[in-house]
Amino acid sequence: MRSALLDVAELSKRFPIKAGGGSFSRLRRRFAGGPEKLPHVHAVDDVSFTIGEGETVGLVGESGCGKSTLVRVLARLLDPSDGSVRLGGRDLSLMPARRFARDPDRAKVQMVFQDAGESINPRFTAFAAIADPLRRIKGLGGVALTAKVERTAAECGLPEALLSRFPHQLSGGQRARVGIARAVALEPQLLILDEPTAALDVSVQVVILQLLQRLKSELGMSYLFVSHDLSVVRLLCDRVIVMYLGRIVEVGPAREVFERPLHPYTQALVAAVPRLGQPPTQDRLQGEPRSPIDPDPKVCRFYGRCPQGTERCTVEMPLLRKSGAAREVACHLIAEVQT
């Protein structure tokens, strides 16, 4: 077992939402009934997991399940509501996101954003985009900075001639390389990839995926790879975490999870992936997810959409439990089968 690089424990993130009515009615309510209790969206709810050194972990789930909020808390762009995020022993969650931006450990967790065309400053050349974090966080300058930018660009397959170009003068694949180079230049221990190939054609996607694979073995990073493309997750990841409405429902080795999904949600997810040479399966998820606004803590989040839900699922929230050597699943039905 590899030692854990990242240890996330009981992490939650809740966002307050504005109650109805204007500021006057809110003021009146506050005077009438003491401190106002705002409803909250439970975007991430009691999430615990680890990422080992050199490991690639996939994070999957439908839009709105909290993947993006989770990775933004891990990258310390957002402050968690509860829980801890330990990186190499240090609890990063204790420091506010604003202050963490200037912390030397900022370099250790880096992120590659979904659409490089949108996440690179349009007024920065490729060189400036890669150089900016090096200057701010590593304090590099002058010849050392130029050398580092050029070396990283070369590692990421960006020819030197392109470094003077602006994002709009680059192709989608080249922009993706700039986004990766910018993050990798800081030599992070953990690289968070938020759908890095979603905007790319298959032919370009292949090159970027293979680049990521090569960089990982050369630089010894761990990856947290967020994607909704399960056929890509299957190829790239050692382990996979499946989220549903803010909670982890299943964790396990990627190959095993996709070949033999245990949780009813994972089963529906895997069944929906188109496969070459096979007719579509018939298992479909009906209905819509439950509301994430102040959900009942006793009811399984998947209840109502789950084809196998029972009485017990409405009175007791299923917790993530071991199921076999390397797998965990949060479902009453599975736990009963195992014991």
Partner 1 sequence: MTAAAGLAVENLSVEFRTRSGIVKALDRVSFAVAPGETVALVGESGSGKSVTAYAIMRLLDDAGRITGGRALLGDVDLLAATPAELRRLRGRRIAMVFQNPRSALNPIRSVGHQIADVLVEHEKLSRRAAAAKAVELLRAVGITDPARRASAYPFEMSGGMCQRVMIAIALAARPAVLIADEPTTGLDVTTQAVIMDLIGELSSSIGMATVFITHDLALAAERARRIVVMHAGHVVESAPVAALFAAPRHPYTAELVAATPASVSVLDDLASIPGSLPDLRRADLPACRYLDRCRRTQPECARNVSMVAPGAIHAFACRNPLP
What residue type is assigned to position 222 of the chain?
Answer: S
Q: Which of 229, 238, 256, 294 binds partner 1 (CB under 8 A)?
A: 229
Q: Which of 71, 236, 241, 257 binds partner 1 (CB under 8 A)?
A: 236
Cα separation, 112 vs 256, in Å, equals 27
Asked if 9 interacts with partner 1 (CB under 8 A), we say: no
The interface region with partner 1, picked from 85-93, 96-104, 196-204, 291-299 by CB under 8 A, is: 196-204
Position among 81, 110, 205, 222 found at the interface with partner 1 (CB under 8 A): 205
Please state, as a whole number, how many other Cβ atoms lie within 10 Å of the Cβ of residue 247: 25
* Ordered DSSP codes for 70-133: HHHHHTTSS--SEEEEEETTEEGGGS-HHHHTTSGGGGGEEEE-S-HHHHS-TTS-HHHHHHHH
Does residue number 277 form part of the binding site for partner 1 (CB under 8 A)?
Answer: yes
Contact between 210 and partner 1 (CB under 8 A)?
yes
Pairing of strands 190-194, 222-226: parallel
d(C-alpha 62, C-alpha 13), whole Å: 18
Contact characters 157-186, partner 1, x per CB under 8 A: --------------x---------------
DSSP string, 227-281: -S-HHHHHHH-SEEEEEETTEEEEEEEHHHHHHS--SHHHHHHHHTS--TTSPPP
Q: Show contacts with partner 1 in window 23-62 (CB under 8 A).
A: 62
Nearer to partner 1, 147 or 206 (CB): 206
Interface with partner 1, residue 201, by CB under 8 A: yes
Whole-angstrom CA distances from 230 to 16, 72, 182 are 32, 21, 26
Site for partner 1 contains 230 (CB under 8 A): yes
Rounded distance between C-alpha atoms, residue 186 and residue 130, angstroms: 9
Among 269, 313, 329, 331, binds partner 1 (CB under 8 A): 269
Q: If you search the block for the tokens 């298959």, which residue do you land on? A: 202
The residue length of the chain stands at 339
* Nearer Cβ to partner 1 (83/252): 252
Of positions 213, 238, 314, 335, contacts partner 1 by CB under 8 A: 213
Those residues whose C-beta lies under 8 Å from the C-beta of residue 152, and which sit 6 or more positions away, are: 130, 181, 184, 185
16 or 280, CB closer to partner 1?
280
Residues 94-123 that bind partner 1 (CB under 8 A): none
Q: Does 271 bind partner 1 (CB under 8 A)?
A: yes
**Given candidates 94, 161, 276, 325, which one binds partner 1 under the rule CB under 8 A?**
276
- Is residue 324 a contact point for partner 1 (CB under 8 A)? no
What Cα–Cα distance (Å) separates residue 274 from each residue in 44, 59, 179?
29, 19, 29
When binding is defined by CB under 8 A, the residue of 122, 280, 307, 324 that contacts partner 1 is 280
Among 18, 34, 98, 288, interactor with partner 1 by CB under 8 A: 288
Question: Phi/psi of residue 152, each to 5°?
Answer: -65, -40
Choice from 63, 89, 94, 161 touching partner 1 (CB under 8 A): 63
The bridge status of strand 328-329 relative to strand 109-112 is unpaired
Per CB under 8 A, does 260 bind partner 1?
Answer: no
Residue 171, CA distances (Å) to 157, 177, 201 in order: 13, 10, 11
**Stretch touching partner 1 by CB under 8 A, among 103-111, 155-163, 267-275, 319-327:** 267-275
Task: Note whether 113 and 167 are within 8 A (CB).
Answer: no
* 228 scored as a contact of partner 1 (CB under 8 A): yes
81 vs 197 by CB, closer to partner 1: 197
Query: Interface residues with partner 1 (CB under 8 A)?
Result: 62-64, 171, 201-207, 209-210, 213, 228-232, 234-236, 268-269, 271-280, 284-288
